[in-house]
Amino acid sequence: MTMALDIAGAFPVPRRPAPNAPAPAVRLRGLSRSFGETAVLRDLDLDIAPGEFVVLLGRSGSGKTTLLRTLAALDTAPAGQVSIPAARAVVFQEPRLLPWKRVWRNAVLGLPRAGRAEADAALAEVDLSHRADAWPSTLSGGEAQRAALARALLRRPQLLLLDEPFGALDALTRLKMQELVLSLWRRHRPALLLVTHDVDEAVALADRVLVLEEGRIAVEEIIDLPRPRPRSGAFEAVRRRLLAALGVAE
Amino acid sequence: MDKLYKFKSLYNSRALLPLLLLLVWEGAARTGVLPPRILAAPSAVLGTFVSLLRSGELPIALAASLTRVAIGLALGVSVGTALALAAGLSRRGETLVDPLMHILRTLPFLGLVPLFIVWFGIGEAPKIGLIALGAAFPTYLNLFAGIRNVDPKLVEAAESFGLSRIGLILHVVLPGAAPSFLAGLRHALAYSLLSLVVAEQINASSGLGYLINTARDFLRTDVIVVCLLVYAGLGLASDYLVRRLEARILAWRPSLLERAA
């Protein structure tokens, strides 16, 4: 187990998939993006396997959000080869619920065939059934993000993108949300990309952690520890390596 | 004790000065200091109000005025809304419509009365036209600003959830612009009532303005005051209507939710 960790940690280069591996859910080749003179992403390659939990770390300005927006097809002008699944869903930093629609209607927004029953099922999964008829402005921060998760789940995504969704939550709610995301990911098995700047969060959740630096993937850590992950020696070792990659010495 | 308490609460009440003014006004009229051809006494105004109501003159005049406002308002709000949608929902529409609207809105619209008389004569057309004009601009300006100020993050999220352009307009843009639209509607109502008052001075043969004009010729200040109070009542009623509309349409707003709770 630690072997896998050490080996992966030593190679800060994207893995080449095994010849008989299934087609990746996400495949980026030579992705570049610049805003004006500033290059945000430089010739970036990335594969995400179906059902893989990838966490993207990086200092602010490293291009995390731009990469996520590319994977969500929200960025209209990236250069390079981008192949992403059709069924995608994003949970943004802010819940971005429409304040004039009740929670359950927000959940099924843009899904003409989904009705109350589907909304209720998804809200039950995020433990928010009791708030189905509430206005979004009456939700707490954690509840609003759970509603956003339910909305994302209803798209049956093959690729679920989470852009620092717990950033604004208090520590306790944050931990509960991490558990929730993990259990939802286990049940639905989408390829998942979580953007965060919290190293502990990354180590607790990810199959693979990527550190983005100056528009490239500078470090890649495969974490082969069983979940839930207590703070063992292996946990600490990965954590320290990632912190070092981010330029923080402990 | 009880009496003293009542007296005290009146003394501290916000109605004190208006009531005092009413008393002074009545007193001045009764003693002859204020002759009725200058200003009729409050009691006389009340009496005239009742008799105008009984004779049917006031209801008929009110109906005529309300019809004017309703038609003018419907026209003005429709045109203002259509132009705001055209300018708000497309860049091409904006370049086409917006500059013109900003040029036109600098015109003092009540100053257009002489032109309207030249164009439309002195019948109903110039009156309804003036009311429509007064209502169109606040509707346009507020709705246009409302559409443009819809949170781009919500639009982006809705797009990422697969809403079509029509769906985006129906579920995100228009509801997002509703608070601004209602603020515009409130202004439109106020302006259309103002236009009504001015327009009805143009040789009206019916309506509150007609009552006022005839009353002026006979120095009936009591009738004039009654009509002014009815105009004021219309203003209050229109405000109340918009409030009710807001409570219905904007039920999701945090401020309204708190009030309901």
Write out pLDDT tens, residues B56-85: 999 999 999 999 999 999 999 999 999 999
Counted domains in chain B: 1
| Residue contact A109–B161, C-beta within 8 A | yes
Query: Which range has the worst mean pLDDT, A15-24, B46-55, B172-181?
Result: A15-24
Tell me if B200 is assigned to some domain.
yes
Closest Cβ opposite residue B257 in set A94, A101, A137? A137
Give B215's contacts (C-beta < 8 A, 6+ positions apart). Answer: B221, B222, B223, B224, B227
pLDDT of amino acid A11: 42
Strands A79-83 vs A26-35: parallel, antiparallel or unpaired: antiparallel
Residue ranges of alpha helices (H) inside chain B are 2-11, 16-30, 42-55, 57-89, 91-105, 113-120, 124-148, 152-160, 165-168, 174-199, 207-217, 221-249, 254-260
Query: How many angstroms separate the CA of residue B138 from the nearest CA in chain A?
Result: 24
Per the structure, the complete domain to which residue B57 belongs is given by 42-249
| Residue contact B153–A89, C-beta within 8 A | no
Q: How many CB pairs under 8 A join A and B?
A: 56
Strands A38-48 vs A159-163: parallel, antiparallel or unpaired: unpaired
- A24: buried, middle or exposed (CB in 10 Å: 19+, 13-18, 0-12)? middle
The H or E element containing residue A139 is none
> Across residues B106-119, what is the average pLDDT?
89
| Residue contact B162–A100, C-beta within 8 A | no
The CA distances from residue A106 to A141, A161, B146, B172, in Å, are 16, 18, 21, 11
| Residue contact B172–A98, C-beta within 8 A | yes
pLDDT of amino acid B15: 86
Tell me if B7 is assigned to some domain.
no
Tell me if B30 is assigned to some domain.
no
Tell me if B16 is assigned to some domain.
no
Closest Cβ opposite residue A137 in set B163, B175, B252? B252
pLDDT of amino acid B109: 85
Give A175's contacts (C-beta < 8 A, 6+ positions apart). Answer: none
Given a cut of 80, is residue B244 above it in pLDDT? yes
pLDDT of amino acid A10: 41
Tokens linked to A202: 């990354």
Interface of A with B in 104-123 (CB under 8 A): 109-111
User: ipTM score of the complex?
Assistant: 0.84
Tell me if B26 is assigned to some domain.
no
| Residue contact B153–A136, C-beta within 8 A | no
Query: How many angstroms separate the CA of residue B139 from the nearest CA in chain A?
Result: 21
Query: Which range has the worst mean pLDDT, B121-125, B141-145, B242-246?
Result: B121-125
Tokens linked to B159: 């797009």
Give B70's contacts (C-beta < 8 A, 6+ positions apart). Answer: none
Regarding pTM above 0.90, the answer is: no
| Distance of alpha carbon A113 from alpha carbon B165, whole angstroms | 18
What residues in chain A have per-residue pLDDT under 70? 1-21, 249-250
pLDDT of amino acid A191: 96
Interface of A with B in 5-64 (CB under 8 A): none
pLDDT of amino acid A18: 55
Measured between CA atoms, the residue of chain B closest to residue A94 is B153
The H or E element containing residue A199 is helix A199-205
Query: How many angstroms separate the CA of residue A102 from the nearest CA in chain B?
Result: 8
CATH code at A2-87+157-245:
3.40.50.300
Judging contacts by C-beta atoms under 8 Å, the chain A residues touching residue B252 are 99-101, 135-137
Tell me if B29 is assigned to some domain.
no
- B101: buried, middle or exposed (CB in 10 Å: 19+, 13-18, 0-12)? middle
Closest Cβ opposite residue A110 in set B156, B158, B252? B158
Inter-residue contact B199 to B113 (CB < 8 Å): yes
Query: How many angstroms separate the CA of residue A144 from the nearest CA in chain B?
Result: 14
Closest Cβ opposite residue A96 in set B153, B176, B254? B153
Tell me if B129 is assigned to some domain.
yes
- Among the listed residues A36, A38, A15, the one whose alpha carbon sits nearest the alpha carbon of residue A27: A15
| Residue contact A109–B171, C-beta within 8 A | yes
pLDDT of amino acid B51: 96
pLDDT of amino acid A12: 43
pLDDT of amino acid A21: 64
Tell me if B113 is assigned to some domain.
yes
Mutate to test the interface with B, among A70, A76, A96, A133 (most CBs of B within 10 A): A96
Judging contacts by C-beta atoms under 8 Å, the chain B residues touching residue A136 are 252
| Distance of alpha carbon B260 from alpha carbon B49, whole angstroms | 37
Q: What is the CATH number of the domain that holds B240?
A: 1.10.3720.10
> Across residues B205-228, what is the average pLDDT?
93
Given a cut of 70, is residue B198 above it in pLDDT? yes
Q: Position B157: which residue type?
A: A
Q: Is B259's Cβ below 8 Å from some Cβ in A?
A: no
Interface of A with B in 128-147 (CB under 8 A): 135-138
Mutate to test the interface with B, among A65, A100, A137 (most CBs of B within 10 A): A100
